[in-house]
């Protein structure tokens, strides 16, 4: 694993309490850059990879689990 170990552990064990700031920090640690921000959608890009989209919910401070699972899969955190 690389990056922030505590944050990675949080992604793997407590998927229902991941904030947008958590996602932003982890994606930037892995070399992704926020390239598009419109409305509630944030798109992160890294050369040679598929863009990752994170939707910031309006009525909650936590990111929905499908987006958290996508980040875990795309970054290979469970490997």
Domain containing 16 — which CATH number?
3.30.920
Report the domain count for the chain. Answer: 1
DSSP symbol at 60: -
> What does pLDDT average to over the chain?
91
Q: How many CB atoms lie within 10 A of CB 49?
A: 13
Tens digit of pLDDT for each residue in 56-79?
Answer: 988 899 999 999 999 999 999 986
The side-by-side arrangement of strands in the sheet containing 52-55 is 33-38, 41-45, 52-55
Q: Which domain holds residue 43?
A: 5-75
Tens digit of pLDDT for each residue in 39-50?
Answer: 899 999 999 999
Single pTM value for the model: 0.88
Residue 78 pLDDT: 84
Residue 1 pLDDT: 44
DSSP symbol at 3: S
Residue 37 pLDDT: 82
């Amino acid at each position: 694993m690389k990056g922030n170990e505590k944050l990675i552990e949080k992604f793997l064990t407590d998927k229902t309490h991941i904030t947008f700031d958590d996602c932003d920090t982890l994606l930037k640690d892995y070399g992704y850059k926020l390239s598009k921000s419109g409305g509630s959608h944030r798109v992160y890009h890294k050369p040679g990879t598929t863009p990752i989209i994170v939707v910031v919910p309006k009525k909650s401070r936590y990111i929905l689990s499908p987006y958290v699972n996508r980040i875990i899969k795309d970054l290979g955190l469970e490997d």
